[in-house]
Structure 1
Amino acid sequence: MTSTGTTTDAVAVAQRHVAALRPTLDALADESDRLARWGALLADRLLDGGRLLAAGNGGSAAEAQHLTAEFVGRFDGDRRAFSAIALHGDASAITAIANDYGYAESFARQVTAHARPGDVLVLLSTSGTSANLVRAAEAGLDAGATVWAMTGPGPNPLAAAVDDALTLPGVGANVQEAQLVAVHALCRVFDAIVRERIGETR
């Protein structure tokens, strides 16, 4: 018996979870070129007046909001604010759209309203099968935005629906954890390029 009164080896459970994350992070490391391209394009677009839109469901919604917060606020160096919107953050809009048009349209209609050519839409999903994200991708492409996805193992419907996708192996929890690393890597590339071009971060 453990000190908690169960027969579960809690240390082993924790160790297995961390060990399972390593192959996902190794796969992410192999995607560094993609993250560098994304960060460079984001710098081009946002410095030119474009905006970043992001969306996800559940834990992926939290990661999408984390991403946009880094652009509106700052990552780890002071710089000006950039336009970035987490589409799930407007509770009135998302519930009204879901009620009137169905949940599959909850992000797509917002993308249609907000996205313009020159904008970037980032969609996060551990499964890559969420219908509302696939519809958002379609709406983003129709609006002329560049659309990227971060998903779990491919191929999957969301990865197939976007301009470019970062697909990672692993179970949902490990994929989501690695996506946070990807979000921070994207921010770091973005800030480095902004610093190089206009000296606005320090």
Structure 2
Amino acid sequence: MLEQRIQHHFFESADLQYQAAEALGRPIAEAAQALVTGLTSGGRVLVAGLGPSAALAQVAALALTGRFERDRPGLAALALGADAVALAGLIAEGGLELALVRQVDTLGQPGDLLLVLDPEGEAPALIAAAQAAQSKEMSVIAITGRTGGSLRGLLGETDVLVAVPHERRARVLESQLLVLHCLCDAIDLQLLGEQDSA
């Protein structure tokens, strides 16, 4: 019984990956192009997520500033909220929503990008951060679950929504990591070209 339940997780995850491969190819490519355009024009990527998605935000920032699978010069990226001491002070002053908005207002510049990771697309702090980014003429890339939630409604013409076609939070989080890997690979491909197979 327990083994069957465990196997079900693998089968459900595999089924989602097959569905998502077709559904997300275009939006991920659009997101990758927006990131490359912003980064090569001198922009930076601010990455935000809450809970498990905050850890994914740190993974994304590390892969951009360091390396994904190939050596390349570092790309300007920062995971918002990664500095727990500074964030605690901002939260004490006005809550998490104000803390992320303050970081976007302080660190973001026109031409930068905000990459938001939110399984439901409903986190008030991330919605506020996205609105703050838009007010600073930053593009927003939102990686969410099926509908995109409230984040979908505020995205503009220069923004990109990558909506994982699933309702279950665990499956969306797994897919968010895969989407980040696809983005990093696409960025490296556009900046460095095809990798030699030798």
> Which TM-score applies when normalising by structure 2?
0.90
1:92 to 57, 66, 85: 85
State the superposition RMSD in angstroms. 1.8
What is the alpha-carbon distance in structure 2 between the residues aligned to residue 97 and residue 69 of structure 1?
A: 23
Deviations 1:89-132 (A, max 9, x none): 01122111211112222211100111111111011011211110
1:171 alignment counterpart: 168
Instruction: State, as a whole percentage, how many aligned pairs show the same letter.
Output: 30
2:3 alignment counterpart: 11
The amino acid across from 1:185 in the alignment is: C
What is the alpha-carbon distance in structure 2 between the residues aligned to residue 160 and residue 148 of structure 1?
A: 13
Q: After the TM superposition, which residues 158-197 of structure 1 pair with which residues of structure 2 at under 5 Å, given as runs?
A: 158-162=151-155, 163-168=159-164, 169-196=166-193
8 Å CA contact 1:28–1:182 kept in 2: the answer is no
1:49 to 32, 42, 48: 42
1:5 alignment counterpart: none
The amino acid across from 2:110 in the alignment is: P
Aligned-pair distance for 1:155?
4.6
What is the alpha-carbon distance in structure 2 between the residues aligned to residue 20 and residue 153 of structure 1?
A: 15
Please identify the structure whose Cα radius of gyration is greater. 1
8 Å CA contact 2:148–2:161 kept in 1: the answer is no
8 Å CA contact 1:53–1:120 kept in 2: the answer is yes
Instruction: Give the unaligned 5+ runs of structure 1.
Output: 1-8
The amino acid across from 1:79 in the alignment is: R
What is the alpha-carbon distance in structure 2 between the residues aligned to residue 106 and residue 159 of structure 1?
A: 22
Q: After the TM superposition, which residues 29-40 of structure 1 pair with which residues of structure 2 at under 5 Å, given as runs?
A: 29=21, 30-40=23-33
> Which TM-score applies when normalising by structure 1?
0.89
The 3-state SS of whatever aligns with 1:144 is: coil
Matched, 1:20 2:12: yes
What is the alpha-carbon distance in structure 1 between the residues aligned to residue 15 and residue 167 of structure 2?
A: 8
Deviations 1:142-163 (A, max 9, x none): 1111011111121511222232
Q: After the TM superposition, which residues 105-116 of structure 1 pair with which residues of structure 2 at under 5 Å, given as runs?
A: 105-116=98-109
Aligned-pair distance for 1:25?
1.7
More displaced stretch, 123-132 vs 159-168? 159-168
8 Å CA contact 2:45–2:76 kept in 1: the answer is yes
The amino acid across from 1:139 in the alignment is: A
The 3-state SS of whatever aligns with 1:124 is: strand
Distance 1:20 1:48, change over 3 A: same
2:74 to 68, 73, 81: 81
1:63 to 56, 63, 80: 56
The 3-state SS of whatever aligns with 1:88 is: coil
Aligned-pair distance for 1:178?
0.7
8 Å CA contact 1:134–1:157 kept in 2: the answer is yes
